[in-house]
Amino acid sequence: MVRSAGSLLKRSPVVALVLVIVSACSGSTTSSTVGSGTGPSGPPTSATAASSPEDSGPKSVTDTLTGGWYGFGPFGDASAPISIVAKGPDGWTGYPDWAMDGPEPLRADAPDGIGIAFFTANGLYGDPCHWDVRGIHDAGLPGDVKVGTTVDDMVAALRANTFYTSTAPKPVSIDGYTGTELELQLPDDPYTKCDKDDPSDPGGHEFVFSGPGLYAQGRGNRWHLYILNVHGTPLIAVILSYTKTPQADLNVARNVVETLRIKA
């Protein structure tokens, strides 16, 4: 994918994805459920006209979303695949099977764009800027930080990383699946000195997770992670935003994530 201002929500061009829709400090933890008003601040709002996905089946994801429900996936182990059905806000841009981002002109880019991605991961990077420890420009192989198989394992590994800051984790439940939500604040860095997944790129990329191929979309990217236990597989939905992203856009994105349907 092209990396340029106003471009699509971006992932590594060399990674074969198993993605679906868009994961420390001290602090108290509070319970969060769909419609509870937690997550990015502000009340949830309806992203699109929302008839049940069971009414006529989800739409296939297209470049331009037009409202209603869309299918994403599969994710996870091929022997036990996970799929998602989620609202596609009118005017947003969709990426088949794994993501969507906000309307033109910025989409998911800084300084105030927004995006959503869904994926599973096979590890983390201790240094998301200098992640290419093998020197082969492939962010799909397991990272240098080995992560256990549970949601708690992944959350603990994320919170232990000092490359970014993170909020205190909170319990969350979406479509009957429980897990944890937390937010990462990535550095205000231009990535010019980061490792490259594409040697022809003028600059590099920051990868938090290994496997999905999703990298920071711009300087100071903020990742609000929902990590759910789906029959033993940590399924991740992430809202990508910035400090200047409008609250109305955050509300739309949170509604997309908190109303998604999981099929496993």
Within-domain flag for 11: no
Asked whether residue 9 is domain-assigned, the answer is no
Does 248 reside within a domain?
yes
Q: How far is CA 223 from the centre of its chain?
A: 7
Q: What is the pLDDT of residues 16-38, one digit of tens each?
A: 333 333 333 333 333 333 333 33
Query: Which structural domain range is residue 90 located in?
Result: 21-263
pLDDT in tens, 94-125: 999 999 999 989 999 999 999 999 999 999 99
pLDDT of 42 over the 50 cut: no
Mean residue pLDDT across the chain? 84
Which phi and psi angles does 56 have, rounded to 5°? Answer: -140, 5
**Domain assignment present for 5:** no
pLDDT tens digits along 196-241: 999 888 889 999 999 999 999 999 999 999 999 999 999 999 999 9
In single-letter form, the type of residue at position 104 comes to E
In whole angstroms, give the CA distance from residue 82 to residue 104: 30
Residue 4 lies in a domain: no
Higher pLDDT: 180 or 33? It is: 180
- On whether residue 3 sits in a domain, the answer given is no
Contact call for residues 69 and 58 (beta carbons, < 8 A): yes
Token pair for residue 45? 């709002």
Question: Does a structural domain hold residue 156?
Answer: yes
Is residue 54 assigned to a domain? Answer: yes
pLDDT (0 to 100) of residue 53: 59
Report pLDDT digits (tens) over 229-261.
Answer: 999 999 999 999 999 999 999 999 999 999 999
What pLDDT is attached to residue 97?
92
Q: What is the mean pLDDT of residues 176-183?
A: 98
Q: What is the tally of structural domains in the chain? A: 1
